[in-house]
Amino acid sequence: MVMEDTTQAIDISSPINGLSAPVASNLSLSTSPSANLYSSPASKDSSRWHRGNTVASAAKQLKPFATEDIKILLLENVNKTGRDILAAQGYQVDFLKTSLPEDELIQRIRDVHVIGIRSKTQLTSRVLREAKNLIVIGCFCIGTNQVDIQYAAKHGIAVFNSPFSNSRSVAELVIAEIIALARQLGDRSNELHKGTWNKVSSGCWEIRGKTLGIIGYGHIGSQLSVLAEAMGMSVLFYDAVNLMALGTAKQVPTLPALLQGADFITCHVPELPETHNMIGRSEFEQMKNGSYLINASRGSVIDIPALIDAMRSGKVAGAALDVYPAEPSGNGDYFTNSLNTWAEDLRSLKNIILTPHIGGSTEEAQSAIGIEVSEALVRYVNEGATLGAVNMPEVNLRLLTMDEPNHVRVIYIHHNVPGVLRKGGENDTLKAFNTHRSRQQESG
């Protein structure tokens, strides 16, 4: 909930998690750094107008805490662009290049207000239960399945991610893998590294004129569609909802229709119960003989033992995997049967590209992700703006300006229980003040 109070500004003590400090009067309020404004996603155009209009009129931020009291923990080598944005706000930023084991993570998270992670750190309910001061989580990646989203929402912890910034990098990787599989480049390269000259054309193809089947036509799938068509491929796609096709791509009504019609199949779906082993033995049987499979989405989407059998039988001529059901928490010689029982069988196959979850690992993508997520964290901490949060209703009012010295905004997160605002909530806290306008949004 966001409320706007039009009475003379009065000091209000905040009881939240050690951040108590009086709300400052209009002369000592911090100002928003206008140099660090980045465009929101195209679907959020209205928010850009709100922010743009504010900068022209000396924006101010109303915060019931001192900026330097905010403690931030960044794990897994979050890009420097993101670190710089957070440090420029005056926050205490603690940065590590690796993820942490759960017990050590619990010790480190207890006194932080903001944590930034990538895909390896697991923020389970056990970890979050110990994070008494935590107000927001930043996932510097697309996925949020490494966070207990429901637990975070129930305890008023907002979660932000980066759904757009690395989609081009993933799409380009898939295009490269399509060509590499069609030409058996991995096998020829490995052979020559061992000294074997093996110049062959059998089983090697151009991708022009072939059909690409895309499962999941979101940010990545749609960009991939355009790139594939530019290279002369036809495109079919399957999605759970009806979507507008780009170019001459065609949506098919069922997954079997896509499997039966595509020469190359690529998966771009989230990790959900519905997508677990989405491609299994029955799906491999429906695919064309000699087809190719690529997965750069989530490791649980493909039944790997079934893929191994399909490749050994010749049903599948090649595959590229960037994600796996279990992945190491750090770099090293860990991709063995002790991690996944089928790992060594998978590694022994011909014409298979195995990469260590690098779909979004480009300098451009990581820089953009650092900016996108850090800006979202700053807006939430400083302004209470929840635009882009995956587990909160979206609230994104324009910033107050120095021309509005008597206005105060408060974001109040509570359970959706009848009467909660009357019992210790908005009414008790602000009953002495003249609340001019109140906006409520609900989630769940």
Can you point out the beta strands (E) in 306-440? Answer: 316-321, 352-354, 408-411, 435-439
Q: Give me the residues paired with residue 159 across strands.
A: 137
Single pTM value for the model: 0.77
Q: What is residue 19's predicted lDDT score, i.e. its pLDDT?
A: 42
Q: Is 357 a catalytic residue?
A: yes
**Residue of 357, 375, 379, 383 marked active site:** 357
401, β-bridge pairs? 59
Q: Is the dihedral of CA 177, 178, 179, 182 positive or negative?
A: positive
Give the pLDDT confidence score for residue 299 in this predicted structure: 95
Beta bridge partners of 279: 302
Contacts with 266 (C-beta within 8 Å, 6 or more apart), sequence order: 174, 178, 212, 213, 214, 215, 221, 224, 293, 294, 295, 296
In the sheet that holds 408-411, the strands lie side by side as: 408-411, 2-5, 435-439
Checking phi first, is residue 120 left (phi over 0); if not, alpha (psi -120 to 50) or beta? alpha
Q: For residue 419, what pLDDT is reported?
A: 73
**4, 172, 271, 327: the active-site residue:** 327
pLDDT recorded at residue 205? 98
Single-letter code of the amino acid located at 147: V
76 is catalytic: no
For residue 380, give the nearest of 129, 11, 26, 63 by alpha carbon: 63
pLDDT tens track of the chain, all 444 residues? 334 443 333 333 333 344 433 233 222 233 333 333 233 333 333 333 333 333 344 555 555 567 889 999 999 999 999 999 999 999 999 999 999 999 999 999 999 999 999 988 999 999 999 999 999 999 999 889 899 999 999 999 999 999 889 999 999 999 999 999 999 999 999 999 999 999 999 999 999 999 999 999 999 999 999 999 999 999 999 999 999 999 999 999 999 999 999 999 999 999 999 999 999 999 999 999 999 999 999 999 999 999 999 999 999 999 999 999 999 878 899 999 999 999 999 999 999 999 999 999 999 999 999 999 999 999 999 888 899 999 998 888 777 777 777 776 666 777 777 776 666 555 566 666 665 555 555 555
Question: Would you give the DSSP letter of residue 418?
Answer: T
Alpha carbon dihedral 93, 87, 147, 268, in 10-degree steps, equals -140
Please pick, among 298, 375, 379, 383, the residue that the annotation labels catalytic: 298
Give the DSSP letter of residue 210: -
